[in-house]
Amino acid sequence: MAYIIDGKRISGEIKDEVKERVERLKAQGREIRLAVVQVGSDPASTVYVGNKKKACDYVGICSLAYELPEETTEDELLALVEKLNEDDSVNGILVQLPLPVHIREDKIIETISPKKDVDGFHPQSVGALSIGREGFVSCTPAGIIELLKRSGIEIAGKECVVVGRSNIVGKPMSMLLLRENGTVTVCHSKTKNLKEVTKRADILVAAIGKPRFITEEYVKPGACVIDVGIHRNENNKLCGDVDFERVESVAGAITPVPGGVGPMTISMLMYNCLWAVEREYK
């Protein structure tokens, strides 16, 4: 049976560490303020935004909610982002994705000041990561690195296979594993003989977006399996991209859904907000 990586516990530890550092900043008269922008009322986004606000309250970061109607134009949203860029009392800006189809996400992401890009989605942040410079790192992959490190799973020299190449998870994940000296392969929908590739992995990251896609046939015995997916199954229960019951019996370590990667994303967002302020002191 695999070791279950407890993302809930580890994310709690990180939040407590952030809370302590936020308190230290407060004692010096520095407050951290995060602007959270949501356009429209996508139910999943509303839940995520609510959880982000709750985490802010917990660690002592002041969250500023901007709830805009679905009909908001791209120009109106750009104007708000520019206003927040110029507001020195705002340290981080988060525009919840997805945006309504009439707004170009790229355009919005590029307009957020790289100094306040706590999501790590700005091309400058992505470029910095790819050439090993300091910068904001996308929260979900950053959280996965923390899960591995804090579970004592070594990355250096290991075969790391990432399934999925999204800008938010797959690509930054591959760059981070490379930065940690892993030997990295990225697979995607056009990959041939996927099972043969994933079976080589010591660390397998599943970010495919298909419920329970990864079964035991994709996994090398003893491998560490990280599940980024979140879906509802036929009984309305949460499940991931990994078929947990089947993979648990062959893997060496595995993240559950819920309670694995999910809680880490928000903790790393809190960490990024803290870093937005701490970096100014360096």
Mark the binding-site residues for NADP(+), compressed into ranges.
164-166, 230
Of the pair 60, 262, the CB lying nearest ligand GUN is at 262
* Helix, strand, or coil (residue 184): strand
- The answer to the question of residue 139 lying near ligand GUN (CB under 6 A) is yes
Q: In what order do the strands lie in the sheet with 183-187?
A: 3-4, 253-254, 224-227, 203-206, 159-163, 183-187
Of the candidate residues 96, 111, 125, 198, the single one contacting ligand GUN (CB under 6 A): 96
User: Does the protein bind ligand GUN through residue 97 (CB under 6 A)?
Assistant: yes
Helix axes 43-59, 261-278, angle to 10 degrees: 50
User: Least separation, in Å, of the C-beta of 218 and ligand GUN?
Assistant: 25
The DSSP secondary-structure symbol of 132 reads T
Residue 176 and residue 137 in contact, taking contact as beta carbons nearer than 8 Å:
yes
Q: Which of 15, 52, 158, 171 is the catalytic position? A: 52
**Is residue 63 classed as helix, strand or coil in its secondary structure?**
strand
- Select the span of 24-32, 92-100, 186-194, 198-206 touching ligand GUN (CB under 6 A): 92-100
Tell me if residue 96 is catalytic: yes
End-to-end CA distance of the chain: 45
Residue of minimal CB distance from ligand GUN?
97
Which segment (21-29, 88-96, 156-164, 208-216) binds ligand GUN by CB under 6 A? Answer: 88-96
Under the binding rule (CB under 6 A), the answer on residue 64 touching ligand GUN is no
Query: What are the b/e assignments for 180-211, b being 16+ CB within 10 Å?
Result: bebbbbbbeeebeebeebbbebbbbbbbbbeb
Residue whose CB is less far from ligand GUN, 121 or 244: 121
- Minimum distance from residue 55 beta carbon to ligand GUN (Å): 13
Binders of ligand GUN: how many residues, by CB under 6 A? 7
Task: State both tokens at 160.
Answer: 């790391």
**Does 243 interact with ligand GUN (rule: CB under 6 A)?**
no
Residue 66: strand pairing partners: 37
Q: Which of residues 166-185 bind ligand GUN (CB under 6 A)?
A: none
- Residues 247-276, one symbol each (x = binds ligand GUN by CB under 6 A, - = not), give ------------------x-----------
Q: Which of 6, 15, 38, 119 is catalytic?
A: 119
Annotation marks residue 28 as catalytic: no
Q: Give the alpha-carbon dihedral of 159, 163, 165, 170, to 10 degrees.
A: -60
Per CB under 6 A, which region of 62-70, 90-98, 123-131, 237-245 contacts ligand GUN?
90-98
CB-based contacts of 116, cutoff 8 Å, min separation 6: 84, 85, 90, 91, 92, 93, 276
Catalogue the active-site residues: 52, 96, 119
Q: Which residues of the shown chain bind ligand GUN in the complex (CB under 6 A)?
A: 94-97, 119, 139, 265
